[in-house]
Amino acid sequence: MLRRKPAQDRKAEIVAAVLLLADRIGPDRLTTNDVAQEVGVTQAAIFRHYPTKAALWAAVGEAIALRLAAAWQEALATGTDPRRRLRALIGAQLQQIATTPALPSILHSRELNVDNAALRDRFRGLVVLFQDHLAATLGDMAARGAMQPSVRPDDAAALLVSLVQGIAIRWSLGSRGFDLVAEGLRLLDVQLDLFAGHQALA
Amino acid sequence: MLRRKPAQDRKAEIVAAVLLLADRIGPDRLTTNDVAQEVGVTQAAIFRHYPTKAALWAAVGEAIALRLAAAWQEALATGTDPRRRLRALIGAQLQQIATTPALPSILHSRELNVDNAALRDRFRGLVVLFQDHLAATLGDMAARGAMQPSVRPDDAAALLVSLVQGIAIRWSLGSRGFDLVAEGLRLLDVQLDLFAGHQALA
DNA sequence: AGAATATGTTAGTATGCACTCACTCACAAT
DNA sequence: ATTGTGAGTGAGTGCATACTAACATATTCT
């Protein structure tokens, strides 16, 4: 018979399994049976820890939200130079996606966006928070003259958010054949040099 | 009893229903029953026209591929000015997304990417084709001095593809509260001015 | 050691899914 | 007007799913 674990540990294992399998199988196709097999217990055991599948997804969402918020806080603690802080923010985001590749598909899954209204609002708040961080840092850069005045700050923020999403998609479609963080930061530097309006070194 | 239609018309109706419902319900959650109700026939009738659900998805993919290719061809016929051609290409792509909002989610759905290998390759080819068009046009722009030499053409193409994906996502999440094509082209102009290295008019 | 508890299992249920089969009848050509 | 064709139906099948209830035992507390 299998080793029994305290509920707290098992719950964490289950959430981890969902994150792993959401990437492999897809968030909207993931079944409680898949999760149970991955964890190594019976399907019924999942329901001892989470009363419904929706509750399980809520726990997964909460775990993601905590991780993201922590990563952003750490990035914001990076010095006072706005360009370095921007790099830290974007780098942290890319790092989160690299370690949890299911993140984008979960964020856009119908599971979260259609079924679970409370969680959807939670994530909307997160996205807004991230964009606020970006906008604030871009404002600092503008104050230092590191931004062409012709580029509106909200447009710049939109371009940066797109950059992250776009490279994450390319990384996924290309079977993760390159270093997401390194390539993302390289592209970010290209874009930031363009924002600054001076030519980068060849 | 319901009006009977020739198979060709009915098949087109079914494909149209899938495109509509894939947006509303999600590609991976769409059932043959949903489709049948939308069309106004019984579930069994769907299987008279398409032997399996996978075959139905293949038809949907084919329809999308034809539309995209046609839109790109039309855009490429736009004059010889590379910047205008780029605007036409991106505008066509945004227009396609605006009229078929399910497009991005279908392109990234597990239905297409996991189950239907043939169709996945078909779409991969489409994406490559689009990027080739972009790269060629960017090359023309560079030849006319409308691109800073510090920006590699493939990086520029990656940034433009990201721009389209990013604004499409924002449009979707924001309940389509703005004109996707107009806003996308506006952002494109901001980015192209940055590529050119001269300030845009305020 | 023995009782209490909580983590697990076995064996279900109801529902929804893709898909099938025997059959009906609307329509078009003769 | 008759008839052949094929679009459409009603009633199913088998399977997967989320979830449940009764029971079992590993672990912990005393």
The whole-number pLDDT of residue B202 equals 42
Whether the predicted pLDDT of B145 surpasses 70: yes
Higher pLDDT, B47 or A199: B47
CA distance B3 to B39: 12
What distance, in Å, lies between the first and last C-alpha atoms of chain B?
64
At residue B194 the predicted structure's pLDDT band, cuts being 50, 70 and 90, is very high
Is the alpha carbon torsion for B5, B6, B9, B10 positive or negative?
positive
The whole-number pLDDT of residue A3 equals 76
| Distance, Å, B100 CA → C25 C1' | 37
Whether the predicted pLDDT of B199 surpasses 60: no
Q: Which residues of A touch B190 (CB under 8 A)?
A: 150-152, 155, 159
* Percentage above 70 pLDDT, chain A: 97
State which residue of chain A sits closest to B163, comparing Cα positions: A162
Other beta carbons within 10 angstroms of residue A71's beta carbon come to 18
Higher pLDDT, A163 or A118: A163
Q: Residues 155 to 194 of A: which have CB under 8 A from any B CB?
A: 155, 158-159, 161-163, 165-167, 169-170, 173, 187, 190-191, 193-194
The pLDDT tens digits of the residues spanning A100-125 come to: 999 999 988 888 877 777 778 888 88
The whole-number pLDDT of residue B140 equals 94
- The pLDDT of B99-106, averaged and rounded, is 94
- The pLDDT of A37-61, averaged and rounded, is 96
Q: Is the CB of B51 under 7 A from strand C?
A: yes
Give chain A's mean pLDDT.
Answer: 92
State which residue of chain B sits closest to A175, comparing Cα positions: B113
- The pLDDT of A147-171, averaged and rounded, is 94
Q: Is the CB of B4 under 7 A from strand D?
A: yes
Q: List b or e across B39-76, with b for residues whose CB sees 16 or more CB atoms inside 10 angstroms.
A: bebeeebbeebbeebeebbbbbbebbbeebeebbeebe
Q: Beta-strand (E) ranges in chain B?
A: none
The answer to pTM > 0.85 is yes
State which residue of chain B sits closest to A164, comparing Cα positions: B162
- Give the tokens for residue A5: 């674990």
Q: Which residue has the tokens 């989160």?
A: A96
Contact A194 B194 (CB under 8 A): yes
